[in-house]
Chains A and B, each alone.
Chain A
Amino acid sequence: SQTIHQWPATLVQPVGSPLSLECTVEGTSNPNLYWYRQAAGRGLQLLFYSVGIGQISSEVPQNLSASRPQDRQFILSSKKLLLSDSGFYLCAWSPTQGHEQFFGPGTRLTVL
């Protein structure tokens, strides 16, 4: 069966520091991968998606970037965090577009 891992589970970072969140998927190959952010009182907002190694599409302009160095690894990064980057970050995968997406446990990021 497929599983999705995210780490760290929680992170507290100062403003201006770099960020790296990692997501890995097991039990499937060539998945579509997604990064979402959930801010308090809001639904999930799609930040990035990837259909293959090195292929990244951004849904919203922001202070963050994503990379996919391996088939089942998806990384969310920032060079300098802003206060507004605080939130709950979820990674998800799907076998193809239009299909349901399967979510990881999330990372709660607090920028102080």
Chain B
Amino acid sequence: AQSVSQHNHHVILSEAASLELGCNYSYGGTVNLFWYVQYPGQHLQLLLKYFSGDPLVKGIKGFEAEFIKSKFSFNLRKPSVQWSDTAEYFCAVNPDSGYALNFGKGTSLLVTP
């Protein structure tokens, strides 16, 4: 079955540590890729997206993600996290420019001061 896997369900980091959240998908065709974030008490919002072109994409708040087609991966990174990055992060895949966004189960990130 087609799926989106996020490797880490809970991550705890100290401020200034580097972050990498893994995302793998199992769709064989063309995909559009997204990372969404949900801060405590707020709407789900878009961090960054990849449709085509440069596989390294930059998003808001210093986040970036790299699409590696051969590995079916779209990992999220940030060189130095802040306490305000505490949130839940979701990877989503849109296969073949269809209607559905298929989400991973999410990763809960806690950044400690």
A residues lining the B interface (CB < 8 Å): 32, 34, 41-46, 49, 51, 57, 59, 90, 92, 97-98, 100-106
Separation of A46 and B95 alpha carbons in the complex (Å) = 14
Interface residues on chain B, number (Cβ under 8 Å): 23
Number of A-B residue pairs at CB separation under 8 A: 50
B residues lining the A interface (CB < 8 Å): 4, 32, 34, 36, 43-46, 49, 51, 90, 92, 94, 97-106
Minimum Cβ distance to chain B for residue A92 (Å): 8
Tell me if A42 and B44 are in contact (CB < 8 A).
Answer: no
Known: A97-B97, A98-B94, A98-B97. A103 touches B44 (CB 8 A): yes
Minimum Cβ distance to chain B for residue A11 (Å): 18
Minimum Cβ distance to chain A for residue B37 (Å): 11
Would you list 9 pairs from A and B whose C-beta atoms are within 8 A, ordered by A residue?
A32-B99, A42-B105, A43-B4, A44-B90, A44-B92, A46-B102, A49-B99, A90-B44, A104-B43
Q: Which of A42, A49, A51, A97 has the most CB of B within 10 A?
A: A97
Separation of A57 and B97 alpha carbons in the complex (Å) = 16
Separation of A51 and B90 alpha carbons in the complex (Å) = 25
Chain B residues lying within 8 Å of A90, measured Cβ to Cβ, are 44
Chain A residues lying within 8 Å of B44, measured Cβ to Cβ, are 44, 90, 103, 106
Chain B residues lying within 8 Å of A101, measured Cβ to Cβ, are 101
- In the A-B complex, the 9 residue pairs with the closest CB atoms: A98-B97, A43-B103, A103-B44, A44-B103, A43-B105, A46-B100, A49-B99, A97-B99, A43-B104
